[in-house]
Structure 1
C-alpha cells in the first residue's frame, strides 16, 4: 500500500504542477494556479500520515517505509526548486516571460551551481534521516527497525556521492572552449 501511495504522490505532484501552471498561464487564473501549486506539499503530509498510521497499526517496518521517508526528504529538498524552474519555463513559453537562464557550464560558476544542488541534496538527506530515525525510535525494536537503518545508510551514501561529484567541479573545473578565429578575421595568404 505504501509503494502505491508513493507512486500516487509522484503522479499527483506532476498533475498538480501541470494543472497549476495551466491555470496560471493559459487560463490566466493566477490565484487558482497558485492554490493548486500550494496543494503539492499536502501530498507529502498525506504520505507521512499514512506511513505513521501503518507503523502504528503494527506493520512490520520494511523497505517501503524507508522509501517513503526518502521520497518525502527529497521532495522537501528539491520540490520548490523544481516548481520554480518549471514555472519560469512555463512563463516563458506560455506568457511571453523572459527566457530562464541555463545553468553555467564552466569554471567556478559551474562549481557554485553544483554546490548549491548538493546543498539541496544535503537538506533532503537530513530530512530523510530525521524521519527514518523517528521511525526507528517509534518502532522501538532494533531488529525490526533494521530495514529503516539500511535506508539511513543509503541516504548517507547518496549525500556523499553527490558531494564528491559537486567537489569534482571545484577541483577539476571544466574550461570554456577556446574560440577559434572567425572566417572574416583569418589572414589572407601572402602575395594577394
Structure 2
C-alpha cells in the first residue's frame, strides 16, 4: 500500500505541477496557478499521515516505510528548487519571459553550485533520517528502517565526494569559450 502511495504522490506531484504552470501561464490565471502549486506540500502530508497510520495499525517496519521517508526528505529539499526551475522555464516558453539562468559549467562558480546542491542533499538526508528515527522510536524496533538511514547517509557521502571533486579539480572552460579575435560570442541557446 505504501509503495503505491509513494508512486501516486510522485505522479500527482508532476501532474499538479504541470496543471499549475499551465493554468498560470496558458490560461493567465496567476492566483489559481499559484494556489495549485501551493497544494504540492499537501501530497507529502498525505504520505506522511498514511505511513504513520500504517505503522500505528501494527505494520512491521519495512522497506516501504523507508522509501516513503526518503521520498519525503527528497521532496522537502528538492521540491521548491524543482518548482522554481520549472516555473522559470514555463515563464520563458509560455509567457515570453526571459530565459532562465543556466547553472554554471566551469570553475569556482560550478563548485559553488554543486556545493549548494549537496546542501540540499544534506537537508534531504536529515529529514529522511529524522523521520526514520521517529518511526523507529514509534514502533520500538528498527527493522528495515535503520538500513534506509544508512542508505541515505551513503547517498549523502557519495554526493559530497562528487561536489568536493568540483572544488578540488574544477572544470576548465574549453579553449573556444575563451574567445578568439573576431569570434561571435553570442549564446547558441543550447
- The question of 1:27 aligning with 2:24 is answered no
> Which residue of structure 2 aligns with residue 60 of structure 1?
60
> Which residue of structure 1 aligns with residue 121 of structure 2?
121
> Which residue of structure 2 aligns with residue 190 of structure 1?
none
Q: Secondary structure at the match of 2:167?
A: helix
Shift of 1:57: 0.2
Shift of 1:183: 8.4
**Number of residue equivalences:** 182
Runs of 4+ residues deviating >2 angstroms: 179-185
The within-5 A match list for 1:81-120 is: 81-120=81-120
Q: Which has the larger radius of gyration?
A: 1
> Which residue of structure 1 aligns with residue 169 of structure 2?
172
> Which residue of structure 2 aligns with residue 8 of structure 1?
8
* Superposed CA offset, 1:156-179 (max 9, x none): 001110000000000000111123
Q: Structure 1 residues 104 and 45, CA, compared in 2 at 3 Å: closer, same or farther? A: same
Counterpart Cα distance in 2 of 1:184 and 1:94: 35
Counterpart Cα distance in 2 of 1:124 and 1:173: 25
> Which residue of structure 2 aligns with residue 75 of structure 1?
75
> Which residue of structure 2 aligns with residue 189 of structure 1?
none
The within-5 A match list for 1:138-157 is: 138-141=138-141, 145-157=142-154
Shift of 1:123: 0.4
Shift of 1:146: 2.3
> Which residue of structure 1 aligns with residue 187 of structure 2?
none
Counterpart Cα distance in 2 of 1:6 and 1:150: 19
> Which residue of structure 2 aligns with residue 44 of structure 1?
44
Unaligned runs of 5+ in 2: 184-190
Shift of 1:108: 0.1
Q: Secondary structure at the match of 2:144?
A: helix
Q: TM-score by structure 1 length? A: 0.92
Unaligned runs of 5+ in 1: 186-192
Shift of 1:182: 5.1
